[in-house]
Amino acid sequence: MNAEADFNTPGILLRRVEYGDNDLILNVITPDRGKMVLMAKAAKRSRRRFGGVLDLFAILDLSCRGSRRGRMTLLAEASLCESLNSLRTEVAKTAYASYWVELVHFWGEEGQPQPDLYALLYDVLMALDRDRLPARVLSLLFQLHFMNLAGLGPRLSACVGCRCPIGGLGDLQFGLDAARGGVICQRCDPKPRLTVSRGALKELAWIAAGGLARAQRMRFSSEALCAGEEMMESFIPFHLGREVRSLKFLRHLRESGALA
Ligand SMILES: [Zn+2]
């Protein structure tokens, strides 16, 4: 029988589904083992082993039983590193965190180490909980970096049609051509679905190239934030090739003014 050794790992809880009367199936992302599915037996009864910490978005220390071939890995114990409680109690934060976590859940294969993706999600969830940056800036940062890690980052510095650098195109407005993977100038697409100025594109390029510390030192225009949201929230589902369910909730809150 091939059995893997027991192991401990940090992990972020992406999804929890009840299984039978007492068990939970958990989807987590870890730094070194990537995404994993864990079975937490009797999770709903055992406060000793799980201490009531198996909440969505929580950052946990996980003690796992090595899996036997073909069997789900068992979670033996879990303890809390960071609860990130506000992500479950403040509806706007819940909406953003749910969106990011859904993207991570559906992107890539289980068991492939993704330390950069883990670090990105960890950083934005922590920053959202601690109010280090406005949620919409964090969401843009997450989406742009997420797509960069996936090798699908939108091209923001030159037109995907004529290939002219945006700096050389005067005061033209730009649109997004999701299929061609980036921005397109008004000459190449006279009637784009959304338009964005060169200045706003530069701000988005800064967010895409820098980390949280850099974003904290900057002030972003509302044009860049609005256009960036619209761009990325259509660009990502297009490239994932699927509907992103949590986006509906996010948009609903935005339209009702609850994200202001
Ligand atoms: Zn062009």
pLDDT in tens, 13-40: 999 999 999 999 999 999 999 999 999 9
> Which are the contacts of 80, defined by CB distance < 8 A and separation ≥ 6?
51, 53, 58, 59, 60, 61
Q: What is the spatial distance between Cα 90 and Cα 191, in angstroms, rounded to a whole number?
A: 39
Domain that holds residue 136: 86-255
In DSSP terms, which residues pair with 28 in a beta bridge?
13, 36
Report pLDDT for 2: 56
Beta strands 174-177 and 73-82 are unpaired
Distance CA 50, CA 60 (A): 10
Q: Tokens representing 155? A: 């091209």
> Which stretches in the chain have pLDDT values below 70?
1-3, 260
Residues 51, 132: Cα–Cα separation, whole Å: 28
Q: What is the pLDDT of residue 125?
A: 98
CA dist 230 → 51, 65, 85, 240, 247 (Å): 40, 43, 28, 16, 11
Q: Which of 53, 82, 111 is the last residue before a domain boundary?
A: 82
Q: Which of 38, 59, 82 is the last residue of a domain?
A: 82
Give the C-alpha separation, 224 to 229, whole Å: 8
CATH code where residue 164 lies: 1.20.1440.120
Nearest to 10 by CA among 31, 38, 35, 27: 31
Report the separation in Å between the CA atom of 61 and the middle of ligand 1, taken as the mean of its atom positions.
50
* pLDDT recorded at residue 50: 86
Neighbours of ion ligand 1 (CB under 5 A): 159, 161-162, 185, 188
Q: Would you state the pLDDT for residue 3?
A: 65
Q: Specify the number of domains making up the chain.
A: 2
Residue 252 amino acid letter: H
Distance 136 CA to ligand 1 centre (A): 29
User: What predicted TM-score, i.e. pTM, was given to this entire model?
Assistant: 0.94
